[in-house]
Amino acid sequence: MMSQFYEPVIGLEIHAQLLTKTKLFCGCSTQYGSPQNSLVCPVCFGLPGALPVLNEEAVRMAVKLALVINAKIHTHSVFARKNYFYPDLPKGYQITQFHFPIATEGALEIEVNDIKKTIGIERINLEEDAGKSIHEGMEDSSEKTYLDFNRSGVPLLEIVGKPEINSPDEAVEFLQLFRTILQYLEICDGNMEEGSLRCDANLSIRKKGVTELGVKTEIKNLNSFRFLHKALEFETQRQIKLLEDGKAVRHETRLWDSRRGETRPMRSKEEAHDYRYFPEPDLPPLIITEEFISQVKETLPESPQEKRARLIEEYQIPVYDAKVLTSSRRLADFFEHTARICQNPKQASNWIMREVLQYLKEANISIDQFPIQAEDLAELILLIEKKETSLRLAKEEIFPEMLQTNKKASDIVKIKGLGQISDEQKIKAIIHQVIENNPTPLKQYLEGKQQVLGFLVGQVMKETKGKANPQLVKKTLTSILNSYK
């Protein structure tokens, strides 16, 4: 395939569920996992006479994001009805923003393979979520579909990116960065599996060097970074093949089928409905004052990029470490807390990047649920530094024990006798014992075979169950061996 002559043009549309306590237009709770249809009221259903009232907290969150991506915040925006019929939408319309969204013209800088690139963001708007159809899990699911309206009216931010992404890698990087920002701002938990962060993509193909856009398809059901990457890769190849074969790309909506690893048509855009948008008569225009914007500005936390730069500067850690550690705000906090107590940022970073992250990954939990406190990890690092235990014992015995029992490192060292042997007399005695038991290596060493040194060090470590200070063993052993010469 002549794919080197073509490039994909990709735009992402993101829906982020906002972490407000209550819904966008009523006081119902947004609690995830509550019993079905327990968080509903007349406003959720759009019953006659029920009037929506805008949740100020959701507006605040939208403004936060708009500020961080340098978007233009509109002091005057308008809610609109998007009309369509679907069982999970009892009102027959979704309240969203159309002609006058809350913010437009933002941008986000991504970096792929050391190349920086700015991706534009066309618009951000507030809208309500729909309910949920339940097709499985009920005893008569083969005949009936059930509806759960707990989600109807939950606030969403719809973020429409410009079609300025040119590879699946860039798309994944863009979405990852976006998720990190939402999590930093604590306005969305970013959980793609539970659907609190959703992503659709549109993709078209063009010959490299050409500026006009080709016919695009929209791809839905991309609920993980892996699926996003795979779906875009598949769709790129599918469209290139059509063009190469002299066929046309159809403007349609396609669904990513993760089991088959392909996108397939869902509905054609020609038969798409007209949403008949019109201003929501039950809500006044949303007016955002400069004063409100500056208040929100004061509550903004340090951005991931700012934090990254500060960690490199303040703790002298490598760029790579800073990048990993700032992947979540809580992880960065955990690092800073540990580093400040043990006064050894590089060791703190090493432990977090290897042992801690590996544990989080295996247990599939976040740093908030990590069983060891930052001060306890710092204590372990200090014990190693003061040579009260060895790095090996710390990794193989103490750290796993801390994870399991929640005990402090110093207590585990005391109880289990995992202290490091740094007493030279003790080590000398063991070395003499080892040499006595192994006459051949000694002879070989005296004949000039330096390699047996490692074997003898190993024997001493074995004899002490790994508790001897290895540097001290090597030094003492060398001087004893040389005394035989």
| 3-state SS class at 418 | coil
Select 94 or 349, whichever has its Cβ closest to Zn ion. Answer: 94
| Residue 41 C-beta: closest distance to Zn ion, Å | 3
The residue with tokens 């961080």 is 68
Q: Which residue is nearest to Mn ion (CB)?
A: 158
Interaction partner, residue 18 (Mn ion, Zn ion, none; CB < 5-8 Å by kind): none
In the chain, the amino acid numbered 220 is: K
Q: In this chain, which of 10, 16, 19, 28 binds Zn ion, going by CB under 5 A?
A: 28
Select 94 or 263, whichever has its Cβ closest to Zn ion. Answer: 94
* Window 35-54: residues binding Zn ion (CB under 5 A): 41, 43-44
The dihedrals phi and psi of 149, each to the nearest 5 degrees, come to: -100, 10
Select 55 or 349, whichever has its Cβ closest to Mn ion. Answer: 55
- Side-chain half-sphere exposure of 335, counting CA atoms within 13 A: 31
| Residue 59 C-beta: closest distance to Zn ion, Å | 18
Q: In what order do the strands lie in the sheet with 93-97?
A: 93-97, 79-83, 278-279
Interaction partner, residue 418 (Mn ion, Zn ion, none; CB < 5-8 Å by kind): none
Encoded one letter per residue, x for contact with Mn ion by CB under 5 A and - for no contact, window 281-310 reads: ------------------------------
* Window 43-102: residues binding Zn ion (CB under 5 A): 43-44
Interaction of residue 463 with Mn ion, rule CB under 5 A: no
Distance of alpha carbon 220 from alpha carbon 203, whole angstroms: 11
| Residue 106 C-beta: closest distance to Mn ion, Å | 17
| Residue 158 C-beta: closest distance to Mn ion, Å | 4
| Residue 150 C-beta: closest distance to Zn ion, Å | 10
Size, binding site for Zn ion by CB under 5 A: 5
Interaction partner, residue 158 (Zn ion, Mn ion, none; CB < 5-8 Å by kind): Mn ion
Select 6 or 79, whichever has its Cβ closest to Zn ion. Answer: 79
Structural element, H or E, at residue 268: strand 262-268
| Residue 128 C-beta: closest distance to Zn ion, Å | 10
- Only one of the segments 21-29, 170-178, 357-365, 437-445 lies at the binding site for Zn ion (rule: CB under 5 A); that segment is 21-29
Output the DSSP codes for 23-47. Answer: -SSSS-B--TTPPTT-S--HHHHT-
Interaction of residue 26 with Zn ion, rule CB under 5 A: yes
Select 126 or 175, whichever has its Cβ closest to Zn ion. Answer: 126
- Only one of the segments 22-30, 66-74, 93-101, 190-198 lies at the binding site for Zn ion (rule: CB under 5 A); that segment is 22-30
| Residue 127 C-beta: closest distance to Mn ion, Å | 5
Q: Which of 177, 159, 157, 170 is nearest to 203 (CA)?
A: 170
Q: Which of 272, 172, 179 is nearest to 217 (CA)?
A: 272
| Residue 44 C-beta: closest distance to Zn ion, Å | 4
The dihedrals phi and psi of 171, each to the nearest 5 degrees, come to: -65, -45
Interaction partner, residue 39 (Mn ion, Zn ion, none; CB < 5-8 Å by kind): none
DSSP, res 421: B
| Residue 69 C-beta: closest distance to Mn ion, Å | 18
Q: Which two tokens stand for residue 140?
A: 């008569």
Burial class (CB in 10 A: 0-12, 13-18, 19+), 159: buried
Q: Which two tokens stand for residue 16?
A: 């982020």
In the chain, the amino acid numbered 392 is: R
Interaction of residue 24 with Zn ion, rule CB under 5 A: no
Size, binding site for Mn ion by CB under 5 A: 1
Distance of alpha carbon 390 from alpha carbon 402, whole angstroms: 16
Q: Which of 417, 415, 419, 434 is nearest to 473 (CA)?
A: 434
Interaction partner, residue 26 (Mn ion, Zn ion, none; CB < 5-8 Å by kind): Zn ion
CB atoms within 10 A of CB 136: 8
Distance of alpha carbon 468 from alpha carbon 457, whole angstroms: 10
- Side-chain half-sphere exposure of 461, counting CA atoms within 13 A: 15
Interaction partner, residue 41 (Zn ion, Mn ion, none; CB < 5-8 Å by kind): Zn ion
Interaction partner, residue 376 (Zn ion, Mn ion, none; CB < 5-8 Å by kind): none
Alpha-carbon separation of residue 228 from 70, 96, 221, 357 (angstroms): 26, 25, 9, 24
* Window 153-192: residues binding Mn ion (CB under 5 A): 158
Interaction partner, residue 44 (Mn ion, Zn ion, none; CB < 5-8 Å by kind): Zn ion
Select 23 or 216, whichever has its Cβ closest to Zn ion. Answer: 23
| Residue 13 C-beta: closest distance to Mn ion, Å | 7
Q: Which of 278, 338, 281, 288 is nearest to 311 (CA)?
A: 338
Q: Which residues form the interface with Mn ion (CB under 5 A)? A: 158
Q: Which residues form the interface with Zn ion (CB under 5 A)? A: 26, 28, 41, 43-44
